[in-house]
Amino acid sequence: MAYDPVRKVVVLFGGIGTGGALGDTWEWNGKLWTKRTPPKSPPARLAHAMAYDGNTGHILLYGGFDGRSFLDDHWEWDGKTWTQKTFNKKPPARAAHAMAYDPVRKRVVLFAGSSGFANYFDTWEWDGKTWTASTPSSSPPAREGHAMAYDGNRGGVVVFAGWNRRIPLKDFWLWNGKTWTSRSFATPPAPRESHALVYDSLRKKHVLFGGAGLTTRLGDTFELGTRAWLSFKGLTYPTPKPVGRLAFYNGNSQRIEFIGQTSNGRKAWLQHQGGGYWKDLNRPAPSVTAYQWDFFFDFKKKVVSVFAHYGAGSSSKDFYLEFSGGKWVSRWASSSPFDGVYEGAIAFDTDRGKFLVLGGYNRGYVGNYPPRYLYEWSGTNWTRLNSFYPPSARYGLSMAYDPLHKELVVFSGKYYNSSFYRECYTFDFLTKKWQSRPTSSLMDYRYRQRMWWDSIRKRVMLYGGSNRQNALLNDLWEWDGKLWAKVVTKTAGPKRSHFCVATNPKTGKTLVFGGYGAKSGTYDVWELSNPNIAEFTAFGTGCKGTAGVPLLQAEGVSRPWLGETFKTVTTNLPVFSGFALNIVGFSKDKWALGKLPSDLSPIGMVGCQLFVSPDILLPILNTGGKASWSIALPKDPKLKGQRFFVQTFVFDAKANKAGLTVSNAGEALMGFRR
């Protein structure tokens, strides 16, 4: 298989099936597999190699084994048909070899393989027109069944593992275009062949899966970062915890994090890295003992805060702590107006930076409910908000603060062992009044659901819980300030209650994990993403000027939402330059004079590259070494999913002969919030 970044599909050809070698072509677009029926195809084969060739824009296939002979044929796939090309000079026939494309040097690199009688250790490069045999001063040992990938972090093509005539390998080599260099990393995977290796350019990690080991097939997953291989087996991850908000978005790290009990039996502070992978930050969890923990990020003070409760009845106690200076600092610890409360609702007012608490039941005195009033934590004391028409006493309710309408939204819950509610209330902080709001007849009576504010959709979201029959729910709803509306997702989420939930406002993705599922405590991680998301992704690297390398990025959390103003900022500019130039284009692959990126060294801009087609040129003001730009995007549904590209040209007289440098570039994907 090989990925075509232009057509954005994975291309698969051939292999071995129950009847022998295959010769079919398939494509995966991220959602569906599609069988292609080209007018011409390579003969059926297995153990061949494929790679994307950025010079031709085609998928390159070379060699393999057809069941009788080892092959040396060269084929290219353009998305419609396969075309065979012949050359006088090319790699000898082989199978079980590997190839990878180096986008910086613009070469497909082929290494090793088997002739049937022996293993090769030769290195070949393809530049889009010609095959060239390289003569490096050092090479990896001969092998077959190895894997190759381009490593953007180390700037070259890498080889990992394989077999050398029954000798298993687990070595790692880097090709820089001239020679191979052996690299060693801690905790390497076991020796293997026929494994899969890909490089994740966003997270700058290699991902390794499976293969054939010494005695058995493997199904393990590893990641390679900067120093060591990390096995996904035995990782530290959160364990189910029925009560409390243990997951939160940390505005400092811009990641979703978790504090609580983990798989290794201790309390830890974990950071979500993507998928099911959590990183242990080796930071202390709060040392106080508590029944219920509720963690929040205080955007005003820029600290992680926690409200914790311990005990029952007269022996209960509440704590409020902040993580500051690498340790937890107690801001308050005493009895509170709601001593003994369990399964109440807690929310955080992001505008005023205050905790809000409502409802619950008393663990020490069954059926003895606390006052049904709303309390807030001012930073030094708890204050009861004198309100009109508060909701009736309940537990298992949920609530979230709506910063758009400046109100608190409360939903549902249960009264001890009897009544379930299907009620919605909002609290206005100006009038200090509760207002009963309409609910949908399609919404089930429930408790132990979760609610949160989605800053991308600008809605309060509600998910899951348990209904009157104690059946777990997996429906998703949103509140727009007036009505509840059901959100239909393409795939069903997990049925559960008591779970952890957090939204990353930077990516627009919501994480759901833990809680009670069909088999009691659950450990799985689910991610909810918005298909209409707007994104701005940086790519490429700028060239150095007198103030450093210019850096282009979205301003704050600005995204190219249709109907809104999108903003970028370019920094590291010389302060004496009065203005810069933003290039807006509609392609990152080609422009009037050829392919992109394009080297600007011939015009005196040594080390600089043009990444964006210069379709629109817009002067922007450089103020104190920083240049801001904004564009009002029309609210046109036809533009949803369309892209444009941005790069900044910087006037810097002392930087080079041309007196110009450039920033990296950015790709803007336009979307709707809802």
**Amino acid 316: pLDDT:** 62
Q: What is the pTM of this model?
A: 0.60
> Which amino acid is residue 303, in one-letter code?
V
Q: Domain segments of the chain: what residues?
A: 2-231, 325-528, 535-669
Cα separations (Å) of 624 from 15, 583, 653?
Answer: 59, 21, 16
Give the range among 225-234, 345-354, 627-636 with minimum mean pLDDT: 225-234
What are the strands of the beta sheet with 303-310, ordered from one edge? Answer: 244-245, 292-298, 303-310, 317-324, 327-334
What's the pLDDT tens digit per position in 583-608? Answer: 999 999 999 999 999 999 999 999 99
- 313, pLDDT greater than 60: no
**Amino acid 488: pLDDT:** 85
In whole angstroms, give the CA distance from residue 474 to residue 279.
28
| Residue 351, both tokens | 């505008």
Question: Residue 145: which pLDDT band, with cuts at 50, 70 and 90?
Answer: very high
Q: With contact defined as beta carbons under 8 Å apart, do 366 and 400 qualify?
A: no
Tell me which of 1.10.3470, 3.30.70, 2.60.40, 3.40.50 is the CATH number of domain 535-669.
2.60.40
What's the pLDDT tens digit per position in 426-481? Answer: 999 988 899 999 999 889 999 999 999 988 788 999 999 999 998 999 999 999 99
- 315, pLDDT greater than 80: no
Residues with Cβ within 8 Å of 620's Cβ and at least 6 positions away in sequence, in order, are 570, 579, 580, 581, 582, 627, 628, 629, 648
Cα separations (Å) of 349 from 98, 376, 455?
Answer: 55, 9, 14
- Residue that the structure tokens 């103020």 belong to: 623
Q: Is 616 helix (H, G, I), strand (E, B) or coil?
A: strand
- 559, pLDDT greater than 50: yes
What's the pLDDT tens digit per position in 277-309? Answer: 788 888 998 887 777 788 989 888 899 988 877
What's the pLDDT tens digit per position in 72-116? Answer: 999 999 999 999 999 999 999 999 999 999 999 999 999 999 999
In whole angstroms, give the CA distance from residue 335 to residue 203.
46
Tell me, yes or no, if the two domains 2-231 and 535-669 fold the same way. no
Strands (E), 235-291: 244-245, 247-250, 255-261, 267-274, 277-280
Question: Residue 338: which pLDDT band, with cuts at 50, 70 and 90?
Answer: low
**Amino acid 290: pLDDT:** 73
Q: Is 429 helix (H, G, I), strand (E, B) or coil?
A: coil
CATH architecture of 325-528: 6 Propeller (2.120)
**Amino acid 95: pLDDT:** 97
**Amino acid 239: pLDDT:** 77
In whole angstroms, give the CA distance from residue 89 to residue 271.
52
Instruction: Tell me the mean pLDDT in the region 2-22.
Output: 95
Instruction: Tell me the mean pLDDT in the region 196-225.
Output: 89
In whole angstroms, give the CA distance from residue 568 to residue 578.
18
**Amino acid 450: pLDDT:** 94
**Amino acid 365: pLDDT:** 46
Q: What is the number of residues in the chain?
A: 674
**Amino acid 226: pLDDT:** 77
Mean pLDDT of the chain: 88
In whole angstroms, give the CA distance from residue 208 to residue 160.
10
- List the CATH code of the domain at 2-231: 2.120.10.80
**Amino acid 366: pLDDT:** 43
In whole angstroms, give the CA distance from residue 640 to residue 638.
6
Q: With contact defined as beta carbons under 8 Å apart, do 633 and 644 qualify?
A: no
User: What percent of the chain stands above pLDDT 90?
Assistant: 57
**Amino acid 336: pLDDT:** 61
Residue 451: beta bridge partners? 462
Instruction: Tell me the mean pLDDT in the region 215-239.
Output: 80
